Amino acid sequence: NAGVTQTPKFRVLKTGQSMTLLCAQDMNHEYMYWYRQDPGMGLRLIHYSVGEGTTAKGEVPDGYNVSRLKKQNFLLGLESAAPSQTSVYFCASVVAPPKGGELFFGEGSRLTVL
């Protein structure tokens, strides 16, 4: 009964380093999303996926890449981290929109880029 699990929970990077955030869901949801949360700016959509093997850009996709090779996993990559990418990252999943349903969120991953 894990729901949505994000790893790692915390990470500190130096400018220019790369890393990958993993989101795993066990609810057989079709849609998965990556958001970043910054003070005063709410949650902004980075990338999303409407099914295995598909990805699409959200509101703030620059500097990030994603992959959805397996239905249950959605990876968010930073190829060359920048201080502007310091944020809390949330993954979420949902049953396909025509079926309705709420977003289920992970607990968040706090990333600091020095």
Partner 1 sequence: AQSVTQPDIHITVSEGASLELRCNYSYGATPYLFWYVQSPGQGLQLLLKYFSGDTLVQGIKGFEAEFKRSQSSFNLRKPSVHWSDAAEYFCAVGGYSSASKIIFGSGTRLSIRP
Q: Given CA atoms 27, 44, 114, 66 in this order, what sign does their dihedral have? A: positive
> Are the CB atoms for 88 and 78 separated by under 8 Å?
no
Round to whole Å and give the CA distance between 75 and 46.
12
Residue type, 101: G
- Of 11-19, 20-28, 78-86, 100-108, the segment contacting partner 1 by CB under 8 A is 100-108
User: What does the per-residue mask of binding to partner 1 show for 36-55, with x meaning CB under 8 A?
Assistant: ----xxxxxx--x-x-----
Round to whole Å and give the CA distance between 2 and 50.
21
Near partner 1 by CB under 8 A: residue from 21, 81, 94, 111: 94
108 binds partner 1 (CB under 8 A): yes
34 binds partner 1 (CB under 8 A): no
Enumerate binding residues for partner 1 (CB under 8 A): 33, 35, 40-45, 48, 50, 56, 58-59, 90, 92, 94, 96-98, 100, 102-103, 105-108
